[in-house]
Structures are given as C-alpha cells and as structure tokens.
Amino acid sequence: METQVIIIDDNQYMSKLISYALEDAGFDRHTHFSSVEAFRKAGYEPRPDCLIIDHSLPGLSGTEFTQMVRDGETILPCDITIILCIFDPDEDLVKNARDAGATELCAKPLSPLNLVKKLQMALERPRDFVDCVRYKGPDRRRKKRAQAVPDRRDKKRPMSQNDIDALLKETAD
C-alpha cells in the first residue's frame, strides 16, 4: 500500500511491534519518531497519511498533539487519520482522546491485529469530518441512525457484548 504512516512512540520495542504489524498488512511506508518534538524538528517529513501516536509521550502528549493537529496549529491536514494508543486507559483518558479528535483508540498492550483493523477501517471507510466551534475531528457517531426509530419503551433492551462482558466481570469479582 502507498499509505505513509508515522509512528510516534518513545518505546522502541512498541515501535518495532507496530512496524512489523504494518509490514505484515502491506503498509511498507512507515517512519518512527520517539517524540512529537522529533517529528516537528524533521519538518513533519515524510508527509504522513496517518499518525499512530502514543498518548504518554515525553513533553507533548499524543492527546495534546492530536488537539493541535485538529485545531490547525501544525502544517498537517486537520482531517488526517490519527490513531491514539493508550496504556491502561480509563474513562477520562478515553473521553479526552475522543474529544481531542482521535480517529481511533487502541489500548496498550497492543493487539497488532486490532491496530491494523482499526487503521484499515479508518482509511477505507473514513467517517465524516466535523468542523465546528466545540469539536473538530471525525464524526463520533459510528453507526448510521435509522430514519424511523421503533418505540422500545415497553420492551427490554437486549444486552450488547460489552454489557455482557461488564456483567460477567462484576459477578467474577
């Protein structure tokens, strides 16, 4: 694939893991930087089609850099695909990354297959880009809403897989 991917992660082993996963999936054009500052000093070269950024970077965090890109404070296009990787994510980190405009989020330790799937989906089926006063980034709604919403007030809602997993986790503790 001709997609240029920039990996920004201060952990060289994680960068290697991401590089191998990208190569296995056919993404042969990728470059690694250990910090946002190193990428900036390189003049944002090579020009990326996608960024894979660690949240916990020295200096400027991946989430802060995502916000800068979305706000037009860099020479990168505001609508570039940004995958933010977060070690031990909690609800606040996930919401902050989402609100900063991350295209996708991956929990660390990374599943290489999951990362590649998220990258392929983001590139092949990009969501509409929202540019308004309070938010700039991919549309946060992931599913298209049906025109007519059925009345479900009197019916029990089926549990999603996440609901089931959460319930099983509560009962296991």
Is the per-residue pLDDT at 125 higher than 80? yes
Question: Tens digit of pLDDT for each residue in 65-110?
Answer: 999 999 999 999 999 999 999 988 888 888 899 999 999 999 988 8
Bridge-based pairing state of the strands 136-138 and 129-131: antiparallel
Beta bridge partners of 129: 138
Task: Please provide the average confidence, as pLDDT, over all residues in the chain.
Answer: 85
Mean pLDDT along residues 137-145: 72
Taking alpha carbons only, the member of 56, 139, 148 closest to residue 104 is 139
Give the domains, in start order, of the chain with CATH numbers. Answer: 4-138 (3.40.50.2300)
- Record the pTM: 0.79
Radius of gyration (C-alpha) of the chain in whole angstroms? 18
